[in-house]
Structures are given as structure tokens and as C-alpha cells.
Amino acid sequence: MLRHFPAKHQKILKLSLPAALNSLLDMLQVITDLVMVGRISAYAVAAVGLGLQSLMFMFAILTLLHVGTSALLSRFVGAGQYRRASIGLATLLRFAFFLSLPAMVLWYLLSSGIYQWFGTAPQVEMLGVAYVQVLTWMMPFVFMKLVFVSALNAAGDTKTPMKVKLVSIVLNVLLNYLLIFGKYGFPQLGVEGAAIGTVIVNAIETMVYMVLYLKHHTPYFPVWYYSKSLLRRALKVGLPASFERALTFGSFMLFTAIIAHYGTAVLAGYQIGLRVEGLAFMPGIGFTIAAMALMGQGLGAKKPEQSREDVLLVLKYAAGLMFILSFFMIFMPEKIVWIFTNDADTIKEASLYLRIVGVSQIPLAFNFVLSGALRGAGDTKRTLKINLISLWFVRILPAFGLSWYFHSILMVYLAMISDTFVKAVWLWSTFQKGAWQRIRV
């Protein structure tokens, strides 16, 4: 079907569509736990949902690897320097493994404090701590897998991660079914079973990538080499992005703390709404990956105007697709939320959230694609400034004030989407000025 599109559109769609599908499957793998424990109780939904949200702090570290790997290796690929790209991949894989070990220990030790800090019900805390402590064991696999996926995306290979994820999502559903509900002789482990299934699947995915890499089935060839200079270059770009993500997720946790005061039904509804919205994010994330790779490759080939044209075309596709998805979020949220839970109060709260965020999907596409493009160019300090200023002064602080004054979750959600619109305008202005063309990675 893609052959009917112009050549430039084919290039973008061949990158974006598999990446979008892979991101969608990645999200489905994460929310499979939430969907399947939703048949247990609202406590289970809140416990798993909050546990998955606490995982966002680990994603801050993963952003360091994702952005650093993508920005560095895409430049080498664009310049045709595959040996340097292979050395960079080997370096980042080793770095990812050793970085994952303290992250795993820290998350394990802090798991109980997460639920206490939010003041959740005792049943939510008990289930949540068991869930998170099991999940911590997947950290080394997740860190190394992300480097592999980012490296393949940087080289323009988005199909391999998609194929691996297609198999893993089926395996994840099967393991969850067996371990959560105790089918076919397996123990009935509830939320803990969901976590065990997720750990096993991530381990298998990482081993598949390692086999492909060692057997020369990737654009990179295996080398046993560690380059401190290449690691420093990757960290130079990745650290500001990681710092941004850490502070952003910390702010999101404060935002969740506001919502938690409205009760378990609102918190569970918010968690489900986030997962549904996350599914709508996937086209945007897929096109973001394409924008990051194409930006880096164009700059590596010394063709900044090509990078600009590619990013603008990516942006048009992302905005169009997310506009279509917004209709489902606005006009039929109850039917979507029912997949996650049959609790009437939770369905009502999740549907309210989805209707509000549905109107912000087009500016959200701008946020995704333009942030990804600027990061692909190595302009991570500017995206750090934009995201943090808007997040705190348009979203978090107004949300606290509006919640205190109006005692209405609706006003909190309105502050949230205002941040999305402000960032979209700011990022567009920054991209148009073109200072990203002069950054060295």
C-alpha cells in the first residue's frame, strides 16, 4: 500500500508506522497488567496503576539511554560511519547494564514509601508493594533492551522491534492469564502474578535482541570495546533529557497526589484514563522516533534543510492521526474504559478524564514530534527549559490553586491540558528559529 505514496512519504511512513505499532504494543504490554487485574477489584487497579506510574522515575534514567543512543548513533549512520556506531552501541550496552543495578535496588527499597506518600488505602498499599518489588527484577533487561531498540531505530530499522514486540505481547497475556487467575495448575498470584509475567517477558525480549546482535542480524556488528569519549558524547545529550524527564515525572507524581485526595474511584479512574490516553499517544510516539532518527541522520549527512522538511512532514502525519483518535476519546470514552473495569464510579471518572484530554491531542502531537526532533539534533537543554517552565507554572502550581479553591477535579484537568497548548506553541517557535542546526553532538 505504501508504494502509492510519494518517495519522501514512504521513507517517513516506513519508519513511523512500525515504530508506532511497536510503541502501541509496548504500552499494551504495560497495561495488560492493569486490564487483567481490573477484574479483581478497584484496589488492584489503583495499586497496579500507581505502581506503573512510579516506574516513570526509572523511565527518567531510560531517557538518558534512549536520547543519548538515538542522537549519537543516528549521526554516525547518517555519515556512513558504521564502525563508530557499532563501538557506540557496545559502549552503551555495557553502561546500561551497570546503570540498571543501583536503579533496581533503589526502586525496590522505595516501593513501600510510594504508596505511603500518596496516603492510599491499606489494601492498595499491600497489593502495590508486592507488585512493584517483583517488577524491579526486570530492570537490567529493560535497560539493555532499550539501547538495542534505540540503536535499531537510529539506523532506520523499526520493523525488527515491532516483530519482537508482537510475539512478546501474546506471551505476556498468556503468562498473566495463568499467573493472575491460577489457570491450568498454576498458582493464583493476583497482582504479583502480573508482575512475574512482565519480568519473564522482558528477559526473553532482551535475549532475542542479544542473539540477533551476536549473529550479525542488525545494522551493527558486535565488538568488545568501550569508548569513554563516545559515552561522554552520548551523556552530554542524554543527561539534560534525563534530568528533564526526572523532574517532569516528579511533577506528575505531585499532580497524582492532588488527584489521590479525591478518593480511590477518582484515582483508579485517572490511572485507567492515563493508560487509554497512552494508547492514543502511540502514533505520536512512533512519529517522534522517526523525527528523532531523521533529524540525526540529516544533520550527520550535513543536510539540515532535509532534516527540517522531514520533521515537518512527520508532524503533519502525527497531528492528523491524533486528531482522528481524539474523536473516540471525546465521544465514546465509556466503551473504551469498560475494557479495563466494570466498576461504575471508576468508569465515570476515567471517562471525564478522557473527554478533557481528547481536545488537546493535536497540540500534543506538536509536543511529541518537535521535542523528539530537537532532541535528535542534540538540543536537549532547550527542551528541558521549555518543558519544566510550562509544567510547573502552567500545570502543577495552577492545579494546586484551582483544586484548593474550587474542590473540583475538572479544574485540575483543565490546568493539565493548558500546559499542553502552551508547550506546543513554544516548541514550534523554537523549531522555526533553527538554532538546533548549529549544535554539535
The per-residue pLDDT for range 160-189, each reduced to its tens digit, is: 998 998 898 889 889 888 887 878 888 777
Q: How far apart are CA 237 and CA 285, in angstroms?
A: 19
| pLDDT class of 56 with cuts at 50, 70, 90 | low
Supply the pLDDT for residue 93. Answer: 94
Supply the pLDDT for residue 5. Answer: 63
Range in 49-53, 206-210, 363-367, 392-396 the model is least confident about? 49-53
Helices (H), 40-120: 42-54, 56-78, 82-118
Supply the pLDDT for residue 6. Answer: 65
Higher pLDDT, 93 or 270: 93
Supply the pLDDT for residue 9. Answer: 75
Q: How far apart are CA 220 and CA 214, in angstroms?
A: 10
> Which residues touch 48 (CB under 8 Å, ≥6 apart)?
33, 34, 37, 127, 128, 131, 191, 194, 271
Supply the pLDDT for residue 119. Answer: 65
The secondary structure element, H or E, covering residue 403 is: helix 397-406
**CA torsion through residues 406, 387, 292, 432, sign:** positive
Q: What is the rounded average pLDDT for all residues in the chain?
A: 85
| pLDDT class of 112 with cuts at 50, 70, 90 | low
Rounded to an integer, the average pLDDT of 251-263 is 80
Of 222, 205, 219, 128, the closest CA to residue 162 belongs to 205
Supply the pLDDT for residue 91. Answer: 94
| pLDDT class of 269 with cuts at 50, 70, 90 | confident
Of 58, 57, 50, 55, the closest CA to residue 119 belongs to 50
Higher pLDDT, 53 or 386: 386
- Residue 271: C-alpha distances to residues 31, 196, 253 (Å): 10, 21, 12
Supply the pLDDT for residue 103. Answer: 85
Is residue 417's pLDDT more than 60?
yes
Q: Which cell goes with 352? A: 471525564
| pLDDT class of 2 with cuts at 50, 70, 90 | low
- Count Cβ atoms below 10 Å from residue 407 Cβ, excluding itself: 11
Is residue 349's pLDDT more than 70?
yes
Rounded to an integer, the average pLDDT of 130-158 is 89
Specify whether the CB–CB gap between 266 and 45 falls below 8 A.
no
Rounded to an integer, the average pLDDT of 406-428 is 92
- Supply φ then ψ for residue 38, to 5 degrees: -65, -20
CA 61 to chain centre: 12
| pLDDT class of 285 with cuts at 50, 70, 90 | confident
Is residue 3's pLDDT more than 80?
no
Helix/strand/coil for 380: helix
Query: In this structure, what DSSP letter does residue 438 have?
Result: G
Supply the pLDDT for residue 184. Answer: 83
Rounded to an integer, the average pLDDT of 205-234 is 91
Specify whether the CB–CB gap between 64 and 57 falls below 8 A.
no
> Which residues touch 426 (CB under 8 Å, ≥6 apart)?
386, 390
> Which residues touch 393 (CB under 8 Å, ≥6 apart)?
none
Rounded to an integer, the average pLDDT of 415-440 is 92
Is residue 220's pLDDT more than 60?
yes
